Structure 1
Amino acid sequence: MMHRRTLLRAGTAALAGPVALNALAGGTAHAVPLPVQGVDLSSVLKAEDLGAVWRYSDNTVGDPLRILQEGGANWVRLKVWVDSPDGYHGKQQVLTMAQRANALGMRLLIDFHYSDSWADPGQQRKPAAWAGLSGGALEQALYDHTFDVLDGLRGQGTAASMVQIGNEINGGMLWPDGSTDDWDALAGLLTAGARATADASPGTEIALHLAEGGDNGGTVWWFDNAVARGVPFDVIALSFYIYWHGTLDELQINMNDVAARYGKDVIVAETAYPFTLDDADGHPNIIADSSLLPDDFHPTVEGQAAWMGALSEVVASVPGGRGRGMFYWEPAWTATPGNGWDPADPSSGNAWENQALFDFTGRALPAARWR
């Protein structure tokens, strides 16, 4: 998700449509119920090691997983990097977090980046260990990595319920080999990941994840290519940040269309919204300018909660119950020294803390409650 955020697209702030306005007019403070009410908690273990503290709304200190679970979250999403510079986001951390989530009755989505750091539409770098691989050898490395993590999860009794084969792969992954400039090669890599999932963790659903959730033409072009090459998948996953990815009406149109067109459930795999434009650590926030935001949702605690209500209504409105749910991206990534955006630089700051579901004192915000 991360470095695409420097490629800001102004001009997507217009918010149209009755769904969003109904959420505000109805006075709802929380998201509507969905089968998948998810939170990406990839940064939590590192933050805990560095002394981060999270609190309930009454200021009582608590476990961030439990705080969010008691608020209604029922899925945890965790990213996997192959060889992260900071030693986090690998197999061992995923196994640890999976045990904690399982103890709370939460299901698991594993998000394979197939990189040593952030993978998104602007960067899909090969892991250093795979730099010299191509063709069948690269497919085998991807298969082995995927199998290893998922087999480890199943072996400890915390099998993943869903897996992403790649993260925001609009332009492909493992560049240059898996670029959409060579769809046959990309399809081979995606299929290798799907085979590894089926072999290591039977019953785990396979999601393919794109950014630009409001771009129907781009989504259809991408999935038409995947389907034409027989790439296996069960779920269409889309990122949707309203300050980059269009309007809620455009998201609704896209989700309705692709759910019907491909006969698949759809999830919003990433979303977020600021509760303030201030920052807590002196590092510039990714969203710090109100001109990037729609008029209907203010950068306030109330605006953040209203955003969750509006987006969840869009997902719930996909015909046939195909709108499975949504994930809030890194709601617990507060401004903790050493836990910044750059895994290779402990001095880097956090550009996201004003979009967390915890305020600058670590206290849970209203949007952390799904009910």
Structure 2
Amino acid sequence: HTEDVLSLLKKNNIDVKWVQVGNETTNGFLWPMGRASDNMEKYAGFTEVGYQAVKKVYPNAQVIIHIDGGCDQKRYDFIFDGLKKFGAHYDMIGLSVYPYWDVVAKLESDWKGSVRDFTANVKHLYEKYGKETMVVETGTESKHPKEGYIIMKAVINAAKNDCGGHCHGVFYWAPELEGQYPLGAFDNHRPTEIMKAFAK
């Protein structure tokens, strides 16, 4: 699948800089075979096949492994220790950073803790695994755009200035989803103040 999709892009002269092998693969993918908590070796094998497929078509593309809960160092160690143990390759680590969901899941007591701990995790990941990172998903409550702007500004500032140069970007997930998803950033089909955090 990976090779087919990327080959189609290349055939149409589309350059690809990054490829995620899976999305928020916190417990692996392609269940039940690739469920990391049951069979880390199989998940690592699937990851390696995906990596090799990317490199076959786009040798210079960066392959990203993406995990949710960017504030939770233990879940990252679980996956990346496993990938290391079974010899899977990847180039970058992608984090989801959702202060809203971190509080809902009781991982953090407030958004400031989420930003603080994701920042510490980025540094930890570089020190332990030698990998650069990106925030490949983030978002904040659409119904509070002023507070959302402050939170997004804090996430962007932390990624840019507080991660030792090891976090290379921030992507807001599905900002256009208004009325369907609590963490969109549009109102009446227009960007809210939240998105201004990316412009300044």
TM-score range (shorter-chain normalised) is 0.7 to 0.9
How far 1:243 sits from its partner (Å)? 2.4
Q: Which one of 356, 363, 366 corresponds to residue 190 of structure 2?
A: 363
Q: Which one of 115, 118, 121 corresponds to residue 248 of structure 1?
A: 115
| C-alpha distance in structure 1 between counterparts of 2:28 and 2:78, whole Å | 13
Q: For CA contacts below 8 A with separation 6 or more, give which structure has more relative contact order.
A: 1
| C-alpha distance in structure 2 between counterparts of 1:198 and 1:185, whole Å | 20
How far 1:356 sits from its partner (Å)? 2.1
Aligned to 2:17: 161
Aligned to 2:135: 268
How far 1:252 sits from its partner (Å)? 1.5
SS at structure 2 position matched to 1:178: coil
How far 1:250 sits from its partner (Å)? 1.5
How far 1:367 sits from its partner (Å)? 2.5
SS at structure 2 position matched to 1:230: coil
The higher radius of gyration belongs to 1
How far 1:230 sits from its partner (Å)? 1.6
SS at structure 2 position matched to 1:172: coil
SS at structure 2 position matched to 1:203: coil
Matched, 1:179 2:35: yes
Q: Percent identity?
A: 28
Aligned to 1:200: 57
Deviations 1:109-142 (A, max 9, x none): xxxxxxxxxxxxxxxxxxxxxxxxxxxxxxxxxx
Deviations 1:146-182 (A, max 9, x none): 0011111111111221011111111111111001111
SS at structure 2 position matched to 1:244: helix
| C-alpha distance in structure 1 between counterparts of 2:2 and 2:61, whole Å | 12
Deviations 1:246-270 (A, max 9, x none): 3222111111100222111111111
Aligned to 1:147: 3
| Structure 2: 5+ residue stretches without partners | 103-107, 109-113
Bigger helix fraction: 2
Deviations 1:276-309 (A, max 9, x none): 1xxxxxxxxxxxxxxxxxxxxxx2x211111111
Contact in 2 for aligned 1:150/1:159 (Cα 8 Å): no
How far 1:334 sits from its partner (Å)? 2.9
| C-alpha distance in structure 1 between counterparts of 2:121 and 2:183, whole Å | 25
Contact in 1 for aligned 2:142/2:186 (Cα 8 Å): no
- 1:336-347 aligned within 5 A: none
**1:232 corresponds to which letter in structure 2?**
H
| Structure 1: 5+ residue stretches without partners | 1-144, 277-298, 336-349
| C-alpha distance in structure 1 between counterparts of 2:101 and 2:189, whole Å | 27
SS at structure 2 position matched to 1:270: strand
Contact in 2 for aligned 1:239/1:270 (Cα 8 Å): yes
Deviations 1:65-97 (A, max 9, x none): xxxxxxxxxxxxxxxxxxxxxxxxxxxxxxxxx
| C-alpha distance in structure 2 between counterparts of 1:209 and 1:365, whole Å | 27
Deviations 1:29-70 (A, max 9, x none): xxxxxxxxxxxxxxxxxxxxxxxxxxxxxxxxxxxxxxxxxx
| C-alpha distance in structure 1 between counterparts of 2:98 and 2:193, whole Å | 19
Q: Considering only aligned residues, what root-mean-square deviation do their CA atoms show, in Å?
A: 1.4
Over 4 Å off, 4+ runs:
none
**1:162 corresponds to which letter in structure 2?**
W
Contact in 1 for aligned 2:186/2:192 (Cα 8 Å): yes
How far 1:368 sits from its partner (Å)? 2.0
